[in-house]
């Protein structure tokens, strides 16, 4: 059966992996290619590379970093940050990304989702949605690294993205990101129940327990950054715990 993916996320700024809470107070966490290689050895199912400075500073994601990560690992690499046009996506794919993630630019121009799906395939087209709670059972899309509240309903937006050709939703809870208090399971369940495409849970995990909860809520994959960078838990540790919790994960070569 299809297993749940465990995905370390590398937030990259200026060619280095950084970590911080809500993209503030960033600290250095290492070299992207070295970390990616270590995570593959530990059993990571995919690597996500996000250029956290791209949107705020209006610059294109670093193709050089993508190429280095690509050469280092034999697992899928998804890249996001600052993708505004189909040509931006094409450059990242040429540099070695397997999938490209769009966020703020897709909210401003939903046609971008269709363009990427048509030109590069549905499976290449990931839409990252940052969502913040508006009240019980309600979430709105936030953009531009959390600085702009759009008023757009996050569940309706995820359905629109799927109909435009998105092949996956990378769903980050803006309220939980960096807090370690667990994924927003209500948000996750609402979006996973509304679309047929895979949904990746992001924002708030501090351990395998949170990840198992996310899978129960309907996530097809779980993403985390700081818990892996800090070295407190390896990907292997997390997958063993998920397996014990009854979540199907790829354990081959990890025993």
Partner 1 sequence: MGGPTVTIVRTGTANTASVVAAFGRLGTRAVLSDDPDAIAGAPMVVLPGVGSFSAGVERLSATGVDRAIIGRVDQNRPTLGICLGMQLFAGSSDESPGVAGLGVIDANATALPGSVSVPQLGWNRIEADPGCRILRNGEVYYANSYKLDAVPVGWRGAMTTHGDRFVGAIERGPVVLCQFHPELSGAFGAGMLGRWIEIAGGVPC
Q: How far is Cα 18 from Cα 20, in angstroms, rounded to an integer?
A: 7
Active site residue 11: yes
- State which residue, 122 or 245, has the beta carbon closest to partner 1: 122
Kind of pairing between the strands at 199-202 and 168-173: parallel
CB burial of residue 25 (10 Å; 0-12, 13-18, 19+): exposed
Report in angstroms how near the CB of residue 6 gets to partner 1 at its nearest: 10
Which entry of 31, 130, 184, 220 is annotated as an active-site residue? Answer: 130
CA distances from 184 to 92, 125, 130, 144, 211 (A): 30, 24, 12, 20, 11
Sole binder of partner 1 in the list 11, 50, 52, 120 (CB under 8 A): 120
Report in angstroms how near the CB of residue 238 gets to partner 1 at its nearest: 15
- Residue 123 is a binding residue for partner 1 (CB under 8 A): yes
Q: Give the DSSP letter of residue 181.
A: S
Active site residue 153: no
- β-bridge mates for residue 128, sequence order: 170
Span of 21-29, 106-114, 174-182, 194-202 interacting with partner 1 by CB under 8 A? 194-202
Per-residue contact flags (x/-) with partner 1 for residues 47 to 86, judged by CB under 8 A: --------------------x--xx--xxxx---------
- β-bridge mates for residue 9, sequence order: 48
Report in angstroms how near the CB of residue 49 gets to partner 1 at its nearest: 14
- For partner 1, the binding residues in 95-114 under the rule CB under 8 A are 95-99
Helices (H), the chain: 32-42, 63-72, 86-95, 104-108, 111-120, 154-164, 185-192, 208-216, 226-229, 235-244
Q: How far is Cα 99 from Cα 3, in angstroms, rounded to an integer?
A: 19
- State which residue, 67 or 245, has the beta carbon closest to partner 1: 67
Binding footprint of partner 1 on the chain (CB under 8 A)? 1-5, 40, 45-46, 67, 70-71, 74-77, 93-99, 119-124, 167-168, 196-198, 220-221, 250, 252-253
Residues annotated as catalytic are 11, 130
């Amino acid at each position: 059966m299809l297993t749940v993916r465990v995905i370390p996320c590398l937030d990259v700024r200026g060619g280095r992996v950084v970590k911080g809470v809500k993209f503030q107070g960033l600290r250095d966490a290492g070299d992207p290619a070295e970390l990616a290689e270590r995570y593959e050895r530990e059993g990571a199912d995919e690597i996500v590379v996000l250029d956290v400075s791209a949107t705020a500073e209006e610059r294109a994601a670093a193709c050089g970093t993508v190429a280095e990560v690509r050469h280092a690992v034999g697992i899928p690499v998804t890249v996001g940050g600052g993708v505004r046009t189909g040509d931006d996506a094409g450059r990242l794919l040429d540099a070695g990304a397997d999938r490209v993630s769009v966020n703020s630019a897709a909210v401003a121009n939903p046609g971008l989702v269709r363009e990427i799906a048509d030109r590069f395939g549905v499976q290449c087209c990931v839409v990252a949605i940052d969502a913040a709670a508006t009240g019980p059972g309600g979430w709105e899309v936030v953009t531009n690294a959390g600085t702009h509240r759009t008023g757009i309903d996050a569940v309706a937006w995820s359905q629109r993205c799927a109909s435009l050709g998105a092949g996956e939703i990378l769903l980050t809870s803006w309220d939980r990101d960096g807090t370690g208090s667990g994924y927003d399971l209500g948000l996750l369940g609402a979006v996973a129940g509304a679309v047929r495409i895979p949904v990746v849970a992001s924002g708030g995990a501090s351990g395998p327990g949170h990840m198992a909860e996310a899978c129960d809520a309907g996530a097809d994959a779980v993403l985390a950054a700081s818990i892996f960078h800090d070295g407190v838990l390896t990907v292997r540790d997390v997958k063993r715990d998920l397996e014990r919790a009854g979540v199907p994960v790829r354990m081959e070569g990890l025993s």
